[in-house]
Amino acid sequence: MVITTAMSARSMSTRLELLVVFVFIVAPALAATKPSYIVYLGGRHSHGDDGGVISLEEAHRTAAESHYDLLGSVLGDREKARDAIFYSYTKNINGFAARLEAEEAAAVAERPGVVSVFPDRGRRMHTTRSWQFLGLERPDGSVPPWSPWEAARYGQHIIIGNLDSGVWPESLSFNDRELGPIPNYWKGACRNEHDKTFKCNSKLIGARYFNNGYAKVIGVPLNDTHKTPRDGNGHGTLHVGHRRRFWLCAAPRRSASSAASARGGSPRARVAAYRVCYPPFNGSDACYDSDILAAFEAAIADGVHVISASVGADPNDYLEDAIAIGALHAVKAGITVVCSASNFGPDPGTVTNVAPWILTVAASTMDRAFPAHLVFNRNRVEGQSLSPTWLRGKTFYTMISAANAAVPGYPPADALLCELGALDGKKVMGKIVVCMRGGNPRVEKGEEVSRAGGAAMILVNDEASGNDVIADAHVLPAVHINHADGHALLAYINSTKGAKAFITRAKTVVGVKPAPVMAAFSSQGPNTVNPEILKPDVTAPGVSVIAAWSGAAGPTGLPYDQRRVAFNAQSGTSMSCPQVSGVAGLIKTLHPDWSPAAIKSAIMTTATELGNDMRPIMNSSMSPATPFSCGAGHVFPHRAMDPGLVYDLTVDDHLSFLCTIGYNATALALFNGAPFRCPDDPLDPLDFNYPSITAFDLAPAGPPATARRRVRNVGPPATYTAAVVREPEGVQVTVTPTTLTFESTGEVRTFWVKFAVRDPAPAANYAFGAIVWSDGNHQVRSPIVVKTQES
């Protein structure tokens, strides 16, 4: 098996490299004759609504024919409609994707029965000690009897679908020993018609690929490497669940670290890969909405229980957002959808995947680090690194700032970023080069130093990155240090002739405090689509997470990196997202009748706002993080299995919320696939039964605003008492009633939270607090976000 894997990796890597060369030689500039649009017509009736008169195949064919009729009525020719349509969504979702002129798309949008028409947008991928940190296993790797893994049978028989760049099936993470036969409720497939080496098994039970939207955009014939679920860049393989433990030297041939391990959140869960992302070409994005929507439709029909999607774009109107549409159909089918928050932090308002039916995950550190030290001018500065090589001996090396090593004519400020082609080999040969973070990938800076003949690299943070340092698998000896230390280093270099330094070999350290700390790259709230809904929802480990890796890509994921590893450490909200997906899978195993909203509530209300030093979670500048960074807090799996109370929501609750924010009942009935009427008494957004509470635009004068919430008891009979553990500054918070008594499991009780503005100034730009319900055994915590009106 190892020999087969290695051969597959080499051959697939060669094919990918040849494709890149071919594309750049023969392809024209990225420009399609017509753009692509998605025409969303709502939902399909559940199969069997016709009383079984026609087969599923006939129902799909009839739906597709109706799409040709609709578009043909606009184009004036049904055959032109057939040629234009490249996806017909005919299962749970009703709609199609087609190549259209803008005026043609506008005409389609005017037709009866059309919910929305929107461009086929491109999206980006949001690019393990973590389970010990989350309390699922002991430091020695053993699993205690009270672990949620034991209680939830390691996620046995749950199916997690992953929408990403595919999967590397030969990875040991997909070893299927002891799993038994594939569940009979699985309806999916393993598409390998163009890649016969790709095999599914009882762990990786299904794999599909969707590339029509991508193909229409790049405008050149696709190679066989595009016609396979096989992961070409490692991103997707990292995110598909693992079954068993793998001990590795973290990682062999890429660091000098001690033993580490990789295991997924639901180790016995079955996984299915849906490839929707491909190599960006000539300015294109990697993933397209039409492919993503097709993957959602397939995953729903295939029978998954959880969908994990680590892709995103700028937030958009919900019914013009393929992920929001696909997720709403999935939630209607009882599937929990978990998405990454994106990596555009620390700027406010950058969080994506903000629909209230999605569980949105931020990224933070864990208590494991990979420190390497920089020694200079009698100072010893700690940084982070996963470099596989290190400086030998004890000889100090001459340092040079990359700004002083530019090739003739290259701006020094750009050279400081160590862009490819920026450095003069005569100036950097044999020296340690100091590069500034920003502008281009961190690992690419090291590649430029290596090409120019440098001995090592010191990567220093710019002011915006502050203390956020990342352990990367650099191609040469390297260390990443924070802004303050970098500022002192550059001052020393600029004031000292022949400045020298040394970089020590990296090692692994566990038990680091404080942890978690929010990653600077993790996108933040407020929610720019609906400020009434707090996003992100929770945070989870997303920095230097070890997981399986594709054999077709090096650990940096860059085309010139020829190294190959079985496991890799990566950072991003795309690392934290699958961890929460795994926890959702455990909850679904333990509570198979729970709705997606109940599972989300369990994860949110049991999350912790404290680090391992028992102080509030910090952001990368080491000030307390707000819910705009970490949502309800850091996921706490042990508590999430038994949350005590849950805030539940039905599909009708979501539709009523959409009515409140301006969507019309006709469009929502089309989504529902059945008649729907907006409530005569419109729902106040403040009363939407979300596990967090956001009071937006509070009036300084007038009566207090009041939020209504309903909680369902999922534990034994108990009496819960409310506590306002922290009031937002300038706002008085009152909970009524102060106690809730539940005489049996399943009972629902209602309470109200009143907000009275005492001083509008502190909350004019948001203020934060929290309430907690407790019966002595459970702590049901809801973060509070308030914003007062400008006076």
Query: What are the catalytic residues?
Result: 164, 235, 574
Within 10 Å of residue 338's Cβ, how many Cβ atoms?
33
Residue whose C-alpha is closest to residue 575's, from 620, 539, 545: 545
Nearest C-alpha neighbor of 400 from the set 380, 439, 378, 428: 428
Say how far apart CA 739 and CA 81 lie, in whole Å. Answer: 61
CB atoms within 10 A of CB 143: 17
Task: Check if the beta carbon of residue 275 is closer than 8 Å to that of residue 208.
Answer: yes
Half-sphere exposure of 175 (CA within 13 A, CB side): 13
Measure Cα distances from 186 to 191, 202, 481 in Å.
Answer: 15, 11, 48
Backbone angles phi and psi of 668, in degrees to 5: -70, -35
> Around 79, how many Cα atoms within 13 Å sit in the side-chain half-sphere?
0
Backbone angles phi, psi at 180, to 5 degrees: 80, -175
CB distance 701 to 758 below 8 Å: no
Region at 588 (left for phi over 0; alpha for psi -120 to 50; beta for the rest): alpha
C-alpha to C-alpha distance for 643 and 148, rounded to whole angstroms: 13
Asked if 238 and 575 count as a contact pair (C-beta separation under 8 A), the reply is yes
- Could you tell me how far CA 76 lies from the centroid of its own chain? 42
What span, in angstroms and rounded, lies between the C-alpha atoms of 751 and 564? 56
Which tokens hold the place of 3? 């020999």
SS3 assignment, position 74: helix
Place of tokens 């699958």: 578
Look up residue 732 and give its amino acid. Q
Q: Which of 100, 538, 650, 95 is nearest to 325 (CA)?
A: 95
| Pair 257, 390: CB distance under 8 Å | no
- Strand 397-401 relative to strand 432-436: parallel, antiparallel, unpaired? parallel
Backbone angles phi, psi at 245, to 5 degrees: -80, 145
Q: Which residue is listed with tokens 């077709």?
A: 552
617 and 364 Cβ atoms separated by less than 8 Å: yes
What residue type is 287 in one-letter code? C
Our separate counts of H helices and E strands in the chain read 20, 36
Q: Which residues pair with 373 in a beta bridge?
A: 382
Cα angle 760-628-584, degrees, rounded to a multiple of 5: 135
Query: Comparing C-alpha atoms, which of 8, 296, 324, 355 is closest to residue 164?
Result: 296
Number of other CB atoms surrounding residue 95 within 10 Å? 28
Q: CA 714, CA 725: separation in Å to the nearest integer?
A: 23
Return the structure tokens found at 601: 């509530």
Residue type, 304: V
Contact 309, 165 (CB under 8 A): no
DSSP string of 285-329? -SEEHHHHHHHHHHHHHHT-SEEEE-EE-S---GGG-HHHHHHHH
How far the first Cα of the chain sits from its last, in Å, is 69
Neighbours of 27 (CB within 10 A): 14
Q: How many CB atoms lie within 10 A of CB 379?
A: 13
Name which of 546, 540, 532, 548 is nearest 164 in CA terms: 548
